[in-house]
């Protein structure tokens, strides 16, 4: 609705243009940017303090590791585990809390060796060290019970399940249980801490880890845009973003879509030097969180974790639906997204081992790149995003069918070309089972 | 959420209360800013100053007495911010009457500031109760029924006054002089 002052302005001021009435959303954007975008002084001090502690902790850990394990490398921290693709290692390290938090009983010591959190998720590395041979044997027995060791449980406020990058298991060389865990958080300030328990330790013994989220930026987008193909339909349908919270570690998106089509928002990230990245390029290929269907509406609250710490001081805006939403709270402006990568869907076939394959030629066609086929050596190579991938018909991730090379969309493409993929299932009404028939690629 | 509840929640650091305050009280705060600047401000100036007022509210919410609501406190802060802003932003030379609409930039902002001041002056020059009616309806965005009641007018009389007042303002701002 037009503001009253704008109406008065339009009717009375011969020059026309924008009336001086403030746009409430613009005021909110400025307030959000000021509160969320710039770390407050105390946070800056904390970051510096953490950096100093990190260096000290790393030194201690190195000395400890060398003494205890005869030259073993230091423990992996959350940067190695979750944000391994960080280009600015110093920046990434400044966001890690490397203060070990420990609980101990007669048999075991459980330690969170490093943690990091934004307002969307907490990431941590943890180990459980047995104190004697009997405890070591019991730990090994417990962990061999199933594929996913379940000696850990969590209490207090978190939502959703772990991300795909989790790892848990016993290090065969040391006998120590190691785990890399991420958990979705309830909105701050409900997640001031999380509590973790090891089922092998004394009853009632919980490790309480304080959560200190780094700054994030909340963007008020409230816009609808096409989603591209989804696992449910070729078009995907329109998607409306209600809320977007961006941090150096992840982006949280709350959006609605049609329950029949279940499209996913197509986001781009514009840097101050003019380059544009897709969500998949930044590593945000998988999501975690919750989704609900109410009537014909699908509502999702998903967090996409980047695979490297992003320097938001270098980022200009998030682009959605042809509009750029500046991180500094400035006025959104039109941005031409034609020519930028967009999701597409390919049909494929599943082989006897359960691997799913799509034709390389079609993949290249969708990407607008060419494949080089060397008939003599039977090798195909493609170059995309600065990476060259080569495969032969003898590859485990490639197959020849009807004279054409097909590549596995589950592993090969995902790992090398930085795509997000979503499986397309088709229900066989006669057999009542579902089979994989296609794959949505999110470049 | 009423103003008193918002004030209480702000004291407890509730971020949603801040959003509610911005949504409900932006017209009020911006009008105080306009009044202090005699209308000489473009949209971007007002948005910047208004945001600054609400950030101060967030950082100093403990000073607000919830029993008095937010307006008295916001009014003082908005006025002080606007005075400070005026000190650091030197007014531009008045532009000619026939100033064209240049491309986006400082010149255009100066033009808009100038027209904004002219509109404010023209409204300020209206006889009472039209003057109050215009300020409260167009700047503070109060419901017409409430303004009419406060000014002792029927709603249809208030509408008539708005209609005639707009015509008068148009004549004044078009350089045609005031006709009564």
Residue A127 · residue A75 · CB < 8 Å: yes
Which of A229, A438, A223 lies closest to A323 in space, CA to CA?
A223
pLDDT at position A356 is 82
Which of A65, A108, A60 lies closest to A207 in space, CA to CA?
A108
Tokens found for residue A92: 């990434």
Which of A235, A294, A304 lies closest to A269 in space, CA to CA?
A304
Q: How confident is the model at residue A233 (pLDDT cuts 50, 70, 90)?
A: confident
Per CB-CB distance under 8 Å, the chain B contacts of A27 are: 22, 26, 47, 50-51, 54
Model confidence pLDDT, tens digit, residues A188-198? 555 678 888 89
CB contact under 8 A, B169 and A20: no
User: Could you tell me which chain A residue has the CA closest to the CA of B55?
Assistant: A31
What residues does A380 pair with on adjacent strands?
Answer: A373, A391
Residue B30 phi, psi (nearest 5): -65, -30
pLDDT at position B36 is 82
> What is the full per-residue pLDDT of chain B (180 aa) written as tens digits?
678 888 888 887 788 889 889 988 998 898 888 888 878 888 888 888 999 999 989 888 887 877 777 888 888 888 888 888 877 765 444 444 444 444 456 667 777 788 888 888 888 888 888 888 998 888 888 888 888 888 888 888 888 888 888 888 888 877 654 433
Model confidence pLDDT, tens digit, residues A136-162? 999 888 877 655 557 888 775 544 444
Residue A370 · residue A422 · CB < 8 Å: no
CB contact under 8 A, B26 and A17: no
Per CB-CB distance under 8 Å, the chain A contacts of B78 are: none
Model confidence pLDDT, tens digit, residues A365-415? 888 888 888 877 778 888 887 777 788 877 777 787 777 888 876 655 555
Q: What's the CA gap between A56 and A100, in Å, rounded?
A: 12
Q: What's the CA gap between B38 and A146, in Å, rounded?
A: 74
Residue A305 · residue A401 · CB < 8 Å: no
User: Could you tell me which chain B residue has the CA closest to the CA of A34?
Assistant: B55
Under an 8 Å CB criterion, which residues of A touch B?
Answer: 3-5, 7-9, 11-24, 26-28, 30-31, 34-35, 189, 329
What residues does A196 pair with on adjacent strands?
Answer: A154, A207
Model confidence pLDDT, tens digit, residues A161-185? 444 446 677 777 788 888 888 887 7
Read off the pLDDT of each residue in A92-111 and give the average, rounded to a whole number. 93
pLDDT at position B112 is 78
**Contact residues for A439 (Cβ-Cβ < 8 A; gap 6+):** A345, A346, A348, A356, A358, A409, A421, A422, A423, A424
Per CB-CB distance under 8 Å, the chain A contacts of B19 are: 28
Burial class (CB in 10 A: 0-12, 13-18, 19+), B157: middle
B40: helix, strand or coil: coil
- pTM, two decimal places: 0.61
Q: Does B51 touch chain A (CB under 8 A)?
A: yes
B residues 103..122 contacting A (CB < 8 A):
108, 111-113, 115-116, 118-119, 122
Per CB-CB distance under 8 Å, the chain A contacts of B22 are: 24, 27-28, 31
Which stretch of A295-299, A429-433, B107-111, B169-173 has the lowest confidence by average pLDDT?
A: A429-433
CB contact under 8 A, B34 and A20: yes
The dihedral region occupied by A156, where left means phi > 0, alpha psi between -120 and 50, and beta the remainder, is: left
Q: Is the pLDDT of residue A311 over 90?
A: yes
Tokens found for residue A251: 């982006």
CB contact under 8 A, B47 and A31: no
pLDDT at position A323 is 96
Q: What secondary structure does DSSP assign to A103-123, as a single string?
A: EE-SSEEEEEEEEEE-SSEEE
Backbone Cα Rg of chain A: 25
pLDDT at position A167 is 67
Model-level ipTM above the cut of 0.85: no
Burial class (CB in 10 A: 0-12, 13-18, 19+), A166: middle
Per CB-CB distance under 8 Å, the chain B contacts of A14 are: 173-174
Distance from CA of B179 to the nearest CA of A (A): 15
Nearest to B112 among A11, A20, A31 (CB): A20
Q: What's the CA gap between A409 and A413, in Å, rounded?
A: 5
Residue A143 phi, psi (nearest 5): -80, -15
Mutate to test the interface with B, among A9, A11, A12, A23 (most CBs of B within 10 A): A12
Q: What secondary structure does DSSP assign to B148-173, as a single string?
A: HHHHT--HHHHHHHHHHHHHHHHHHH
Tokens found for residue A7: 């109406």
Q: Which helix (H) or strand (E) holds A102?
A: strand A101-104
pLDDT at position A414 is 56
- DSSP code of residue B177: -
Residue A319 · residue A270 · CB < 8 Å: yes
User: Exposed e or buried b for every residue in A308-345, given b needs 16+ CB within 10 A?
Assistant: bbbebeebbbbbbbebbbbbebbebeebebeeebbbbb
Read off the pLDDT of each residue in A314-331 and give the average, rounded to a whole number. 94
């Amino acid at each position: 609705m037009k503001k009253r002052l704008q109406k008065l302005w339009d009717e009375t001021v011969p020059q026309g243009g924008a009336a001086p009435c403030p746009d409430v959303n613009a005021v909110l954007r400025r307030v959000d940017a000021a509160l969320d975008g710039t770390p407050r002084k105390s946070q800056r001090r904390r970051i510096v303090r953490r950096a100093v502690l990190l260096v000290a902790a790393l030194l201690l850990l190195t000395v400890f590791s060398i003494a205890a394990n005869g030259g073993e490398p230091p423990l992996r921290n959350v940067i190695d585990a979750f944000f391994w693709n960080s280009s600015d290692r110093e920046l990434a390290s400044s966001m890690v809390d490397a203060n070990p938090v420990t609980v101990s009983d007669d048999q075991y010591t459980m330690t969170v060796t490093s943690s990091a959190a934004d307002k969307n998720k907490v990431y941590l590395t943890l180990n459980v060290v047995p104190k004697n041979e009997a405890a070591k044997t019991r730990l090994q027995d417990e962990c061999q019970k199933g594929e996913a060791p379940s000696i850990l449980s969590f209490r207090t406020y978190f939502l959703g399940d772990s991300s795909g990058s989790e790892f848990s298991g016993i290090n065969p060389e040391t006998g120590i249980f190691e785990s890399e865990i991420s958990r979705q958080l309830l909105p701050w300030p409900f997640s001031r801490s999380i509590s973790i328990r090891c089922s092998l330790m004394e009853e009632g013994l919980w490790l309480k880890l304080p959560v200190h989220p780094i700054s994030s930026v909340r963007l008020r987008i409230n816009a609808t845009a096409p989603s591209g193909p989804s696992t449910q339909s070729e078009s995907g349908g329109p998607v409306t973003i209600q809320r977007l919270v961006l941090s150096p570690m992840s982006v949280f998106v709350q959006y609605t879509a049609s329950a029949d089509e279940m499209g996913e928002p197509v986001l781009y990230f514009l840097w101050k030097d003019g380059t544009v990245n897709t969500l998949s390029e930044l590593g945000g290929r998988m999501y975690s969180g919750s989704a609900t269907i109410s009537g014909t509406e699908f509502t999702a609250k998903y967090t996409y974790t980047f695979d490297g710490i992003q320097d938001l001081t270098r980022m200009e805006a998030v682009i959605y639906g042809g509009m750029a939403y500046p991180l500094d709270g400035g006025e959104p402006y039109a941005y031409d997204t034609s020519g930028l990568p967009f999701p597409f869907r390919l049909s494929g076939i599943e082989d006897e081992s359960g691997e799913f394959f799509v034709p390389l030629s079609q993949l290249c066609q969708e990407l607008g790149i060419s494949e080089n086929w060397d008939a003599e050596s039977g090798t195909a190579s493609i170059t995309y995003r600065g990476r060259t991938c080569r495969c032969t018909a003898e590859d485990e991730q490639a197959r020849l069918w009807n004279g054409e090379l097909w590549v596995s969309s589950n592993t090969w493409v995902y790992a090398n070309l930085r795509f997000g993929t979503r499986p397309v299932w088709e229900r066989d009404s006669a057999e009542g089972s579902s089979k994989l028939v296609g794959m949505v690629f999110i470049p | 959420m009423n103003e008193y509840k918002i004030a209480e929640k702000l004291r407890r650091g509730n971020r949603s209360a801040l959003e509610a305050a911005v949504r409900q009280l932006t017209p009020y705060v911006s009008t105080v800013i306009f009044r202090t600047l005699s209308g000489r401000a473009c949209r971007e100036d007002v948005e910047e100053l208004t945001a600054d007022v609400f950030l101060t509210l967030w950082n100093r919410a403990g000073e607000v007495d919830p029993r008095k609501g937010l307006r008295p406190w916001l009014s003082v802060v908005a006025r002080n911010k606007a005075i400070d802003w005026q000190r650091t932003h030197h007014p531009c030379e008045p532009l000619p009457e026939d100033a064209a609409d240049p491309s986006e930039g400082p010149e255009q902002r100066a033009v808009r500031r100038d027209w904004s001041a002219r509109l404010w002056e023209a409204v300020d020059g209206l006889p009472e109760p039209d003057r109050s009616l215009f300020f409260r309806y167009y700047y503070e965005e109060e419901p017409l029924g409430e303004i009419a009641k406060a000014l002792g007018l029927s709603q249809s009389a208030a509408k008539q006054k708005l209609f005639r007042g707009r015509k008068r303002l148009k004549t004044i701002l078009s350089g045609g002089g005031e006709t009564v």
